[in-house]
Structures are given as structure tokens and as C-alpha cells.
Structure 1
Amino acid sequence: MQGKTTNGLMRHLRDTHGITIGGSAHKQKLLNMGYYHGYKGYRFVRNKNNKIAYSHFDEVVAIYEYDSKIKSLLYSNIMLIETALKNYTLERLVQIGPVDFEYIFTNLLNDYKKHPVGSKDYHKKMKSRLDLRNKIYSTISYNFSDNKAVIQHFFHKNEPIPLWAIFEVISLGNFGFFIQCLNLDTRILIAKDLGVHSTSHNQNGRILEDIIFLIKDLRNAIAHNGVVFDCRFSKADASARLKEYLQHTTHINNITFNSIVDYMVIVMFLLKKLGSSKTELKKLVRKFVNESESLRGKIPVPVYTSIMGSDFRNKTTALERYI
């Protein structure tokens, strides 16, 4: 199969897609962003049927650069959140008892016990618990083979691998399953430590796992340079209790996680809970607003609205008040 040169791809964009593109500057931009990872990844909003009616290549570049800036803005903060959530969990578990995995598996990862033996829920929760153990053992095995020093150290000393070392190598998603399998009392203690427990939103200590399962897709998209501007990374709907809780706590209406501003809300919410200063948070929100307003001036208004939502300004104003 004969591929296209960059000049050929530029002709293809002009002739097939009706996009004005030409000259060395556009050629350089297309080379830098890539036709397949760049243009093809940014030609629609959320799904391939919702194509953006570009008329000029500068509009493609504007969305591509906005996406890159948002990932840069969020990267260090989302990594901080992941590390902090694991450390808060460790801090609580250390206070309860030994932190080797076998002890915790037997004594704390036992949410299944609240259901009658043999019931459907008992079987479901037990399977989740066993699946978690298999995933953790598989991750340990992989990291041992991959010469991960923190794992090899304990194997060579013939010592149990402590939970802190396991948390260093498991994914955020598997950490979410870990929280999910903890018993009710332990989940609530950790949620209280983080300041996210509420008795008025039917949480049952589940709010932390809701948060983790929501942000893991954003975290993975940022870490692996996926597209984030239109939230296509989201693999599952946020729970109703999480959306209601965030709306009640932040006084921001219509949080749906269909636009990137809603993910900015939960990142700000978590950073505030983790002790970030008002100055730091306001600076971050201002950068986000400035980049978003800059994009507004570079693409057609209907396209901007389909990306950011019609209530972008209301949400960011309310977010600044919350901070």
C-alpha cells in the first residue's frame, strides 16, 4: 500500500475535506502533530459521528494545542492526587494493623462478609476480591521480571512485600478495586481522613472509589498522551452520588463530566482537600480559563460550545467562588 507524503496529505485535506492548508508553516505544524495522531484524532468531538466542520487548518492546530496545554496543566496535579490518595490509605491502614498484603487481604479486604453466604452479592464481592488478588500478584510478578528494584528487594530478602511497595506498582484502576473491596468501616475511615465522607449522600464509604474510577481515565489519557479536550477518554459514567455530592459541596450546577471543565472541578476539589493553597488553586483555574477563552477566539463559536458546554463561564465563576 502506497502511503502519502506530507504534501499529499495536505492536498487530501484541501480536496477531500475542504480545509484551507498550505505553505511551509502549515506543513511544519502537520509534521509536528502528525496526520493520523493529530488531525484524525482532532476532527471530531467525543465520537466519530460528531465531526467538526473545519474550514481552515489553523482551527485544527488551535484545538490540538489547547489539548496539549490542558494535559500539561493537569499532569503534575493528577499525579500528586494519585500519590496522595494512596498515601492517605496507607496512613490509615498502618494505624489498623500490619500492612503486609496477606494480613490486609484476610482482615480488611472482606466487604463480601456483609452478604449472606451463597447469595448473589456474596459471590460477586468474593469474585471481585479474588480477582483483585490475582491482579496484584500478576503486577508483582511482572515488576519482578522487569527488574523493579522496590519489588526485587523484598524477594531477595525473602520478606513479605509491604503494601506501600505494592501501591507503587499497581495502576490507579486496581487501587480503586482495592478500595472497593475494603470493608465498610475501613472505607469510611479513609474517606473521613480525606474529608470526603458525607452521611447525606448515601455514600456508604463508596465516594472514594467513585472518585478513583472517574479520574483514572483522565490520568491514563494524560500519561499516555491521549486526547482529553472532549472527554472521550471516559469509559464509564460517574455515579449519581458523586455528581450530587460535588454539586452540593461546590455549589456548581449541572456536573455531568461531559466537558473538561467538570474534570477541572473534581481536580480542584481534590487539591483543596489535599491542602493546596487558595493562591495555587486560583492560579490553576485562571490558567485553565485563559487557555479556554483563547481557544474560543480561534474556532467557530458553535464548535467551542459543543466542546466546552454552554455553561462554561457559569461553572468556572462558581469554581473560583468555591476555592
Structure 2
Amino acid sequence: MIKGKTINGLMRHLRDNHGISISGSKNKKDLLNMGYFHGYKGYRFIRRSQNQIPFTDFDEVVAIYKFDANLKAAFYPDIMFIETAIKNYTLNTLISKGPVDFDYVFTNFLNDYKKHPVGSSKYRSKMKNRLKLRDKIHQSISYYYSDQRAVIQHFLHNNKPIPLWAIFEVISLGEFGFFLQCLNEPTRIAIAKDLGVHSTSHNQNGRIVEEIIYLIKELRNAVAHNSVVFDCRFRNAEPPARLKQYIQHETGAANITFDNIVDYFIIIIFLLKKLGISKTELKKRIRRFSEESERLRKTIPISVHTSIMGSDFKNKISSLLNYL
């Protein structure tokens, strides 16, 4: 039998074993609200468990926890907006090229493999991805039919092909990125041009949109599942160098690495601007983000704040304002 610790026991454990000052009803409520495992244990390090934050006061833990929660609350609606908008831009581009039932799109646009010699390793790899995408989409259709999603049932019950817009309603952001990856180059470039993100100077080959989607997918999933985001531990892969260089070139912000959350904030602002959000609204977001950072800076040691936000945080925010 496993015997757990009461909240008083956990507070005593933090004092005695971790050297953290914690006492009183306020700290008790904070620990109860955030939880010991989701809260303290999730926020006691930066990126990797060996990078322990030298907490001495429980209020410092609370400050980082609240900073993280406020980031997620601010990011979520913008990421959802970006996801919907990019899907709609993609649909609009494809509609201009022909029918958008999935079978037509699969045959005529999801054929990037054709530019390689038949049977070559790249041909086989891209053909495999194309077939894998088809399987994933069919699985989504089957799942959401069983789940009684009206948009899927309507077309199947009426013996009609399911249009791409309905499929985009039910696939994940990662699957959407995979869809973009399988498109042929002319179609990818057309989508990037319609979004205003195509650049011939960064060797994009129309790949920039899928690279952006894969980048923000990890943040989106972390936000949606209430995982930790303040230190970018959600990042699973190194973003492509050309994406970093492109965002630096477009925004004027130097040293974009996506090691700090400010870099993700920069790409969100960049995308919102491309999607037509007003300068006034974007300035409000930048001001709110800066205020959250400053509130955190006043509550935790300066060295910890620098580790979280980066030593060039103010320069990046200044560059972002100039970009607007």
C-alpha cells in the first residue's frame, strides 16, 4: 500500500528536503490549486530536469506557474485562429486549381513523388508518405463517423465525396502539416504566395508553410493539453535553419533559435500580421507579453528570468515593434 502526503506533509517536505520557504494559508491554497506533481515538480527546472531552478521561496514557484498559465491563456486563441486561417487559405488556393474532393486532390496535388525518378529512394519515400497520409485521413473519417460528427455523416449518408474543407475540420494540426508536406511544389508555392510568406532568397521550395505548421503544432498541443510551455520543453525537433533565417529576415529580430518562448511569440505576431490583424491589436499583444515578462522578472532572481526569456529579450521585443 502506498501512503501519500497530505498538503501539510508536502509543505513540510518542501521546507525540509528542498530548502523552500513555504507556510501559511496562501501558500497552502497555491500548492493545492497547482498541485505538487503538476505544479512544483513541473516548474522546478528549465527545459531539462537537471537544470534545476534554485528556488528559495514558494512564491517564486507560484510566479513561474502563473506566468506559464497566462502565456497559455494568451496564446491559445491566436494559435486556434492561425490554424483555422491557414487551412482556409490552403482551401482557397486549391479551389482555384480545381475540385476539392479528396480523391481529386490526392491524384492531382498530393503527388510530390512524381518529380523523382520512378523507384528511386526519394520516389519511394514520398510515395510512402502519400499513402500514409491517405490512411491517416481515412482513419480520421472512420473515427469521426463513429463519433457521429455531423459534417462527416452528412456526406457519407448522402453518398457524396467528402470535400477537403470537411476533412480539414477533423484532422489534427500535425496531419494538416503532413498534408502540406505531400503537396507538389507548384501547389505549395501557390499557398505560400497566397499567405504572403513565399521567399525565393531562402530556398523555401514552398516548404515554409509546412515548417511553420510543424513548429507551432508542438506549442499548440502543449497549450491545449495544459502542459508546461514557459521554457519550450515541448519542442521535439530542431526547427529548420531556413525557417529561423526567414523569420529573422522578415521581423528584424536577431538570434531566432526557438530556445526561448519569446521566439514563438515572434512567429505568432508575424503570422497574425500576415493574416491581417491590425497594428493596434498586435501592439496590445506585445505589451501584454512584455508586462507578463516584467511581472515575472520582479518575482524571481534575475539570472533565472534571463535563463527563461533570454539575455536579448528586450532587443527582440524592440525589433518586433519596429517590424509592425
Q: TM-score range by the shorter chain?
A: over 0.9
- Counterpart in 2 of 1:157? 158
What residue number does 2:46 align with?
45
Q: Residue deviations 1:237-295, cap 9 Å, x none?
A: 11111001111111110000000000010000000000000000000000000110110
Counterpart in 1 of 2:257?
Answer: 256
CA distance in 1, matches of 2:245, 2:238: 13
Query: What letter matches 1:43 in structure 2?
Result: R
Structure 1 residue aligned with 2:278: 277
Counterparts of 1:44-193 in structure 2 under 5 Å?
A: 44-193=45-194
Name stretches of at least 5 consecutive residues in structure 1 with no aligned partner. none
Counterparts of 1:162 and 1:4 in 2: how far apart (Å)? Answer: 54
2:296 corresponds in structure 1 to: 295
* 2:288 alignment partner AA: K
- Secondary structure of 2:201 counterpart: coil
Unaligned runs of 5+ in 2: none
Give the deviation of 1:26 after TM superposition. Answer: 0.6
- Give per-residue Cα distances to partners, 1:185-212, cap 9 Å, x unaligned: 0000000000000000000001001100
Q: Quote the Cα distance in structure 1 between the aligned partners of 2:146 and 2:23.
A: 50
TM-score by length of 2: 0.99
Counterpart-to-counterpart distance in 1, 2:37 and 2:146: 34
CA drift of 1:236 comes to 1.0
State the alpha-carbon separation in 1 of the partners of residues 66 and 275 from structure 2: 30
Q: Distance in 1 between matches of 2:201 and 2:125?
A: 27
Structure 1 residue 67: Cα displacement: 0.3
Q: Does 1:196 align with 2:197?
A: yes
Q: How many residues align?
A: 323
Percent identity of equivalent pairs: 68
Secondary structure in 2 matching 1:21:
coil
CA–CA separation in structure 2 for the residues paired with 1:315 and 1:80? 24
Amino acid at match of 1:214: L
The 2-side partners of 1:147 and 1:6 are apart by: 43
Whichever residue aligns with residue 52 of structure 1, its letter is: I
Instruction: Report the aligned-residue RMSD.
Output: 0.6
> Matched residues in 2 for 1:185 and 1:95: separation?
13
> How far, CA to CA, are the matches of 1:282 and 1:105 in structure 2?
41
3-state SS of 2:96 partner: helix
Q: Secondary structure at the match of 1:265?
A: helix
**Aligned partners of 1:143, 1:84: CA distance in 2, in Å?**
22
Q: Give the secondary structure class of the aligned counterpart of 1:254.
A: coil
TM-score, length-normalised on structure 1?
Answer: 0.99
